[in-house]
Amino acid sequence: MKFETRSVHVGVDKDSAYNSATTPIYPTSTFVWDNLTSNRGFDYTRSGNPTRSALEENITSLEGGYQCRATSTGMSAIVTALQLFKPGDHIIAGDDIYGGTYRLFSDVFTRMGLKFTFVKMRELARVEAAITPETKCIWIETPSNPLMNLVDIEAISALANKSDLITIADNTFMSPYLQRPFEMGVDVVVHSTTKYLNGHSDVVGGCVVSREKEIAEKVAYTVNAMGLGCSPFDAWLVLRGIKTLGPRMEAHQRAAQAVVEMLSGHANVEHVYYPGLESHPQHELAKKQQHGFGAMLSFDVKGGRPEAEKVFDRSELFLLAESLGGVESLMEYPETMSHASMTLDARREAGITEKTIRVSIGIEHPDDLVSDLKQALDF
């Protein structure tokens, strides 16, 4: 089946009693055993739940992995993935990743004995130079948040294989509709299902998808042992959202292209960060490893924070809010919002400044979004 068909049908046909057209929600905490040694496949919802399993089956199909485990948040998905390592292990990551991931790496897990090096991962030589005998993983976020830098997934995977390292890719910005890291050699894919997979800004969740059985078993053990699984209702919401993933991503991209074209020619915009622009330094790489350019973009407004605040104040359709990937368009200020947990020096080293505005393009009509953002910039 094609991607859009699998989005609608995989994980759905689970109701043998009444033949429900949608996957039922099983809000039970526990399940009755048939006898002392057997049950119907589930015993306790922390360990597994039919609704959650349906979602996991669907995402596994879309990403092309061996097994998925759905978690309570995107951050708990990252926590799950990091349990693959032990104190003393070293992980290489980009210096311009999501602020919450950076905080988790640089503060929380550093105190637990893991070691991290943050490099400009678009330069393969910098990644190779950062590898030490203790290195166990290369963490990939592409496009990066918020500056839309790309990582060459195939090249990084080849480098990791040569050094016997695990590769983990955060595929949240693209979704499996636009990018499938397993096809380029990645070992583990993580998502904040809060974003494009759910797509309606009404749930928080995450998932970890493994390419091979050995890692999948470790991930499943961690999710159960640490109680990181998502609730049945949240799983149902994400599974509902995934049904329209393909059409939504097309609508998102159509509007993003129109907004980018306007921004690129506006007098009060200094720079636009979007891989779909031919001027983007990694435009050709985007065409090679992505099946579209997505709907996340950032831009630098001419001036600084006062000018950025004018844009937020004047916009009527773009909501000032964190998160991304929903049907409504959002704008946020990395300096005080999504990347505030990074140090000032780390933000500046990554290229995030007081001029930077991150935008998540929704599925509103492109003309309306262009008109609104243009009048917000015409100060």
pLDDT of 51 reads 98
| Residues catalogued as catalytic | 46, 98, 170, 195
pLDDT of 302 reads 97
What average pLDDT score do residues 20-42 get? Answer: 96
Letter string b/e over residues 61-70, b meaning 16 or more CB atoms within 10 A of that residue's CB: bbbebbbbbb
pLDDT of 363 reads 98
Q: Does domain 245-377 have CATH number 3.90.1150.10?
A: yes
Say how far apart CA 296 and CA 64 lie, in whole Å: 24
What average pLDDT score do residues 178-200 get? Answer: 98
Distances (CA, A) of 348 to 9, 21, 311, 333, 344: 45, 51, 22, 14, 6
pLDDT tens across 333-365, in order? 999 999 999 999 999 999 999 999 999 999 999
What average pLDDT score do residues 195-207 get? Answer: 98
Say how far apart CA 192 and CA 36 lie, in whole Å: 38
Percent share of the chain, pLDDT over 70: 100
Q: Would you place residue 151 in the very low, low, confident or very high pLDDT band (cuts 50, 70, 90)?
A: very high
Say how far apart CA 80 and CA 71 lie, in whole Å: 9
Q: What is the CA radius of gyration of the chain?
A: 21
pLDDT of 238 reads 98
Say how far apart CA 188 and CA 215 lie, in whole Å: 8
3-state secondary structure of 288: helix
Q: Would you place residue 313 in the very low, low, confident or very high pLDDT band (cuts 50, 70, 90)?
A: very high
pLDDT tens across 264-295, in order? 999 999 999 999 999 999 999 999 999 999 99
- Domains of the chain by residue range: 3-242, 245-377
Phi and psi angles of residue 344, each rounded to the nearest 5 degrees, phi first: -60, -45
pLDDT of 307 reads 98
pLDDT of 266 reads 98
pLDDT of 32 reads 97
pLDDT tens across 56-90, in order? 999 999 999 999 999 999 999 999 999 999 999 99
What average pLDDT score do residues 183-208 get? Answer: 98
Could you please state the CATH topology (level 3) that the domain comprising 3-242 is classified under.
Aspartate Aminotransferase; domain 2 (3.40.640)
Q: Would you place residue 256 in the very low, low, confident or very high pLDDT band (cuts 50, 70, 90)?
A: very high
Pairing of strands 330-332, 356-360: antiparallel
pLDDT of 296 reads 98
